[in-house]
Structure 1
Amino acid sequence: MGLQEERSRSSSGNGGREEAGAGGRARSWSPPPEVSRSAHVPSLQRYRELHRRSVEEPREFWGDIAKEFYWKTPCSGPFLQYNFDVTKGKIFIEWMKGATTNICYNVLDRNVHERKLGDKVAFYWEGNEPGETTQITYRELLVQVCQFSNVLRKQGIRKGDRVAIYMPMILELVVAMLACARLGALHSIVFAGFSAESLCERILDSSCSLLITTDAFYRGEKLVNLKELADEALEKCREKGFPLRCCIVAKHLGRAELGLGDSPSQSPPVKRPCPDVKGKLKEKSKRVQPQGVVHTVGGYMLYVATTFKYVFDFHAEDVFWCTADIGWITGHSYVTYGPLANGASSVLFEGIPTYPDVSRLWSIVDKYKVTKFYTAPTAIRLLMKFGDEPVTKHSRASLQVLGTVGEPINPEAWLWYHRVVGAQRCPIVDTFWQTETGGHMLTPLPGATPMKPGSATFPFFGVAPAILNEFGEELEGEAEGYLVFKQPWPGIMRTVYGNHERFETTYFKKFPGYYVTGDGCRRDQDGYYWITGRIDDMLNVSGHLLSTAEVESALVEHEAVAEAAVVGHPHPVKGECLYCFVTLCDGHTFNPTLMEELKKQIREKIGPIATPDYIQNAPGLPKTRSGKIMRRVLRKIAQNDHDLGDTSTVADPSVISHLFSHRCLTLQ
């Protein structure tokens, strides 16, 4: 049975294709009865009851969930204390003060010894080539994690040490991060698509004492010599006076293990107070320097376990597949910790959606009988270009719930995902969250929430959203403004590593008393939330946040570039792409060779994901009389939109005319 479609009286009958900002009511799809019958949350009424309790009685709500996990010592202090108001003192969030636990014990030992899931498959690993496959049970994973934690211990890694991990999507990556967690060390996982300079930057920022990497891997047809990049990064660290203690290399292409040797197969977990940091994730910020987002053990564990269970309506027989890389927060929360905390079987995929052909994802879905599938709108838009046949030639009969993550999904892509991939029978959970939040914040629940294409719908348990105007006033009913959260949830970040002042300034200073997401949001007449985009200078490229300041910094490091400005431009596949304006130094000529040099420089400084689609020569940039670059105007020029609004503050209006007449030929 397919999803039931609901059409309001004011519907325009356009198949749900209204954009997030459009007027009127978008059509909605109700959960199919067969999903609701077996769902953990079977109705909208039940969702509202649980949400109300989670917000009004957070100690009781999360305290009940905490009882399902192992705690070395129980909570001895207040269950929740916090301050979100910078005018009242230091910002802090404390959950379950005094309790101690170990997240590795909870996701492995507890499942093997207490829940008797030792023989259950933890991961089905699918390599870059279709014939490269293996699997690992919870018991086998526990043994390997214990062995490798002993390797790390022999290398002097102790509780509180930082370990950088620079690896592709292989089982050894999971082993490495869990081994760190077992010892109480902080793992800083660097996406394997980042450059040597980016890796060096993150090692220095975290003061890592050890690096774990891989010899090489294939991404599609491309060979990535990761060890060479790691060596280059380590040399850069040495040049900057920070030599690492050790580098451990997994010989992936030879499939050798992680230097396990004769290490003992048992390793006692190190207990950690719940306010202790679990791990660090690198997230781009408005400044050039990336920031280390610090999450803590107890709260993060509770939140990713709970969001995984309810958002994907997880049941013991499910096979879950999140296509995200573990180098990003989605991979941390919904490839590793969330699924393992629930005793789930998951697919771990090394390859890309288009290799060896564009039906690869659906081949894997059939191969492992995937029931819950979680991917990015970028991937959906990419595969849409190839039509329905690569999808429909595979059964996909096992699929029950589909999910999206990384950016708001446009209604056209949602409808194709629902109609073609889900055969009009699978609920779609369009999830909004951030690296900083640890887990889902706004999301449908498969058995409870009527869905509107493009809307993240309603807040998850414990989440109290509000929409503010420019003056910090809460807006009621239908409204559009700044999305903020009024109280903490267990998965919230606790600080920026080594820079608490930056944490307070970035997330709490603009509107005291609220956590500020940095996103704009609209709430419609039915109470649904629609994310309208970033309100700062971040770009969302293929679901990855990039700082315009960081890209501009990379551009001006080239000897030919005097000044640069970077804005976002709509892209049919990536959502957004980079459109760069560069002003050259005297004596340099703008030509195709220079354009390629600039793209190469950005790839090396930041990574391939930041490669600009468009670079325009800009003899001058539109600036105010005080010298501030008017990026609002540049965005209009990039999109060939002559409706500029008020330009009375522009110092030299002729600059705008010149840029319009010499703009790049764009796809949209």
Structure 2
Amino acid sequence: MTDSSSGRPERIPTPPGVLARLRYDPQADIEQARTDPEGFWLGQAGHFEWSKPPTSALKWERPRHEWFADGETNITLNALDRHARGEARTRAALIWISEDEQAHIYTYGTLHDRVSRFAAGLQSIGVRRGDRVVIYMPLTPEGVIAMLACARIGAVHSVVYAGLGVGALRDRIEDAGARVVITANHGYRRGKIVDLYSVAAEAIGDLVSVDYLVLLERGEGMHRERESRTVDFNELMKRGRAEAVPVGAEDPLFILYTSGSTGKPKGVIHTHGGYMVGTSYHMKAFLDVHPGDVFFCTSDIGWIVGHSYIVYGPLVSGSTIMFREGAPDYPDPGVLWRLIEKFGVDVLFTAPTTLRMFMKLGEGVLAPYDLSSLRLVACAGEALNPEAWRWAQEHVAGGQGEGAHAVVVDNWWQTELGAPTIGTHGRWPARPGFAGKPLAGVDADVVDENGDPVATGQQGLLVIRTPFPSMMRGVHGNEEKYNAAWSENPAGYTSGDLAMKDEYGYISILGRTDDVLSVAGHRIGSADVEDALVSHPAVAEAAVIGIPDPVKGEAIIANVILRQGFEGQVGRGLRASITEHVRRELGPIGAPAEIRVVDALPKTRSGKIMRRVLRAQALGQDPGDLTTLEG
């Protein structure tokens, strides 16, 4: 169905039965945050334990902003201690599911004990407040424990997704200046063992700044020589218990690397106070998750969704988070839905890629399972296309009529923003193809290059005019890159996304303005892939683009110019060699789906590669204005 005036999808109301199941209405919050942002955010901060309560919310002198700056706390006081002291002590904090579907449950009391023990272990090897620790772990409870243990003693963790390769891991260790790296001997993926220890050991190689490599042994353990700096994860658990170290609200909590269009990935900094208040607020206000609810997030701790909505948001909020190691369709396509039924999941947070995968497999995969416990399904990480929304609303949420038990909601945010920023709240009508409207405390707009709002229905740049608590505080070691995000456009923080606003205030995300690729919900910079390509001995120059993929969102196409002497060797073997080289350097998400050998790349007269021309050629489209193309 469409609007008769515009031809676009109409606003689809949430079924009345679903509205009755939703517990939180944010409308009053949105109004208060607009008229009294100071009072609103101080009120939200008042829900938590502080060693020293803050007396003010925002201090802002563009581009710098601070939140609750005179307050002191530690995020683990609110994620662990306050729950472990009360009736929530025996409540499930974590439900971890192994790839073979074995469930391991950690109560708040148990998790508090494990984190306190590992925090003491880290202190015993010299980790102190402000030190950086890189975590290269599979999606396991020990990975979560390592994150919380760092936070507990005021150390700054930097989680690196365990699918990334040696080069990507080494770059992040060096940039963060990490003294300790935490890893496991292996992870599991589709029934196969994924070696992590060898990658970590090679990555630290001659990095004299790294003092220790902490190793968690899983399964059958090690059958090879250990790096001399290796210490045992479980041995560190035997060195006492550590109390939470009070830190300033603006003390760094973690550094998380995200891809940019040029240069190395940037290390986004989030802090204890504002990140805690912002992420936990959206647990109740947007995701409608409350203490005692079972919340299933299919992300990974290597990404911002995993930080915010596997670890900190759910635990601070006192809910039960369920997460699983392994692919969502292995060992069979029913595993995800079987777990939802078995554990009575209330809210599911997943990626559009996952929904599109099941859409391709067909609704018969879901048919054997009772999904009626679900009341909300949230999607983020990339654009949720209208077809996937409609399929999920019909087959996961029960349709749009009286039989509906849930609602599918879209939302948009970034590593830099920490929490949902634009979204379609479950109480609002859906606009398939539109992420939604600005949430409480968010002043977002679509503007032109001068910062002026564009007309309704016109494409423009998505900006955020004023900061909110969960936004990043900086880029590690690169103040210039942080400042650029606030100076590129006069209107405010520049997201790097193109967008369009409709007459109802809903915003549709149209794509990136830079050269960042989105593969299965994971952002990876074109520069990262190109750097890996040209480090292969056969590749002289490279340019990569993303083209639409019905499941992954985008597939990477690499255009390469070969070095002299390799021109006559073009074939399957060379392409495989290049692909495997990139896979080793960046991990599977950076591996090109196709390698095209070319004689030249389209460039401007100043030498910049015109990727839009390559993209247009790949899609059979008009490349547009070519007046700046090199002759």
Q: TM-score, normalised by structure 1?
A: 0.89
Equivalent residue number for residue 259 of structure 1: 235
Give the C-alpha shift of residue 323 in structure 1. 0.3
**1:156-171 equivalence runs, <5 A:** 156-171=126-141
Percent identity of the aligned residues?
A: 37
Question: What is the one-letter code of the residue matched to 1:457?
Answer: G
Equivalent residue in structure 1 for 2:593, among 601, 613, 619: 613
Equivalent residue number for residue 4 of structure 1: none
**1:546-557 equivalence runs, <5 A:** 546-557=524-535
In structure 1, stretches of 5+ residues that fail to align are: 1-6, 12-22, 85-90, 653-668
Secondary structure of the residue that 2:487 maps to in structure 1? Answer: coil
Equivalent residue in structure 2 for 1:67, among 17, 40, 46: 46
Distance in 1 of aligned mates of 2:487 and 2:310 = 33
The reply on whether 1:391 has 2:366 as its aligned counterpart is yes
Secondary structure of the residue that 2:589 maps to in structure 1? Answer: helix
Distance in 2 of aligned mates of 1:315 and 1:75 = 25
Distance in 1 of aligned mates of 2:504 and 2:8 = 8
Give the stretch that moved more between structures: 385-394 or 33-42. Answer: 33-42
Distance in 2 of aligned mates of 1:39 and 1:483 = 30
The reply on whether 1:26 has 2:9 as its aligned counterpart is yes
Give the stretch that moved more between structures: 414-423 or 250-259. Answer: 250-259
Distance in 1 of aligned mates of 2:628 and 2:214 = 56
Contact 1:217 1:253 in 2 (8 A): no
Give the stretch that moved more between structures: 300-309 or 599-608. Answer: 599-608
**1:340-489 equivalence runs, <5 A:** 340-424=315-399, 425=404, 426-446=406-426, 448-475=427-454, 477-489=456-468
Contact 1:204 1:242 in 2 (8 A): no
Equivalent residue in structure 2 for 1:645, among 603, 621, 624: 624
The reply on whether 1:591 has 2:571 as its aligned counterpart is yes
1:415-455 deviations in Å (ceiling 9; x for gaps): 11111111212111211000000100001222x21111121
Contact 2:456 2:500 in 1 (8 A): no
Distance in 2 of aligned mates of 1:8 and 1:627 = 46
Equivalent residue number for residue 210 of structure 1: 180
Equivalent residue in structure 2 for 1:631, among 583, 606, 611: 611
Secondary structure of the residue that 1:30 maps to in structure 2? Answer: coil
C-alpha spacing 1:316/1:649, structure 2 compared with 1 (3 Å): closer
Contact 2:442 2:468 in 1 (8 A): yes
Q: CA RMSD in A?
A: 1.7
Question: What is the one-letter code of the residue matched to 1:578?
Answer: I
**1:203-242 equivalence runs, <5 A:** 203-235=173-205, 238=206, 241-242=207-208
Contact 1:29 1:452 in 2 (8 A): yes
C-alpha spacing 1:646/1:267, structure 2 compared with 1 (3 Å): closer
Equivalent residue number for residue 145 of structure 1: 115
Give the stretch that moved more between structures: 528-537 or 314-323. Answer: 314-323
Equivalent residue number for residue 20 of structure 1: none
Give the C-alpha shift of residue 120 in structure 1. 0.1
C-alpha spacing 1:261/1:461, structure 2 compared with 1 (3 Å): closer
Give the C-alpha shift of residue 479 in structure 1. 3.4
Equivalent residue number for residue 37 of structure 1: 20
The reply on whether 1:309 has 2:281 as its aligned counterpart is no
Give the C-alpha shift of residue 112 in structure 1. 1.8
Give the C-alpha shift of residue 32 in structure 1. 2.8
Distance in 2 of aligned mates of 1:150 and 1:649 = 60
Contact 1:288 1:553 in 2 (8 A): no
Secondary structure of the residue that 2:412 maps to in structure 1? Answer: coil
Question: What is the one-letter code of the residue matched to 1:244?
Answer: V
Distance in 2 of aligned mates of 1:644 and 1:262 = 63
Give the C-alpha shift of residue 38 in structure 1. 5.0
1:26-74 deviations in Å (ceiling 9; x for gaps): 12322233343353444xxx62x42122133111001111111001012
1:444-481 deviations in Å (ceiling 9; x for gaps): 222x2111112111111110011111222123544320
The reply on whether 1:270 has 2:270 as its aligned counterpart is no
Distance in 2 of aligned mates of 1:56 and 1:480 = 29
Aligned length: 614
Equivalent residue in structure 1 for 2:488, among 510, 528, 549: 510
Contact 1:563 1:582 in 2 (8 A): yes
C-alpha spacing 1:646/1:480, structure 2 compared with 1 (3 Å): closer
Give the stretch that moved more between structures: 419-428 or 455-464. Answer: 419-428
The reply on whether 1:96 has 2:90 as its aligned counterpart is no
Contact 1:250 1:259 in 2 (8 A): no
Give the C-alpha shift of residue 122 in structure 1. 0.6
Equivalent residue number for residue 77 of structure 2: 105
1:350-382 deviations in Å (ceiling 9; x for gaps): 111121111111011112111101111111111
Contact 1:564 1:580 in 2 (8 A): yes
Secondary structure of the residue that 2:416 maps to in structure 1? Answer: helix
Distance in 2 of aligned mates of 1:365 and 1:75 = 40
Distance in 2 of aligned mates of 1:122 and 1:195 = 31
Equivalent residue number for residue 281 of structure 1: 256
Distance in 1 of aligned mates of 2:21 and 2:37 = 26
Equivalent residue number for residue 227 of structure 2: none
Contact 1:275 1:298 in 2 (8 A): yes
Distance in 1 of aligned mates of 2:434 and 2:586 = 32
Secondary structure of the residue that 1:385 maps to in structure 2? Answer: helix
C-alpha spacing 1:640/1:478, structure 2 compared with 1 (3 Å): closer
Distance in 2 of aligned mates of 1:451 and 1:333 = 24
Contact 2:22 2:288 in 1 (8 A): yes
Equivalent residue in structure 2 for 1:538, among 508, 511, 516: 516
Give the C-alpha shift of residue 242 in structure 1. 2.8
Distance in 2 of aligned mates of 1:513 and 1:639 = 34
Distance in 2 of aligned mates of 1:624 and 1:231 = 42
Distance in 2 of aligned mates of 1:582 and 1:243 = 36
The reply on whether 1:244 has 2:215 as its aligned counterpart is no
Equivalent residue number for residue 117 of structure 1: 88
Contact 1:214 1:250 in 2 (8 A): yes
Distance in 2 of aligned mates of 1:268 and 1:437 = 29
Give the C-alpha shift of residue 561 in structure 1. 1.5
1:202-248 deviations in Å (ceiling 9; x for gaps): 1111011111111112111221111111111121xx1xx43411111
Give the C-alpha shift of residue 486 in structure 1. 0.7
Secondary structure of the residue that 1:559 maps to in structure 2? Answer: coil
Contact 2:463 2:491 in 1 (8 A): no
Contact 2:169 2:203 in 1 (8 A): yes
Distance in 1 of aligned mates of 2:628 and 2:467 = 41
In structure 2, stretches of 5+ residues that fail to align are: 222-231
Distance in 1 of aligned mates of 2:495 and 2:447 = 11
Question: What is the one-letter code of the residue matched to 2:593?
Answer: D
Q: TM-score, normalised by structure 2?
A: 0.94
Equivalent residue number for residue 662 of structure 1: none
Give the C-alpha shift of residue 640 in structure 1. 2.1
Give the C-alpha shift of residue 292 in structure 1. 0.6
Contact 1:184 1:272 in 2 (8 A): yes
Give the C-alpha shift of residue 80 in structure 1. 1.1
Contact 2:283 2:290 in 1 (8 A): no
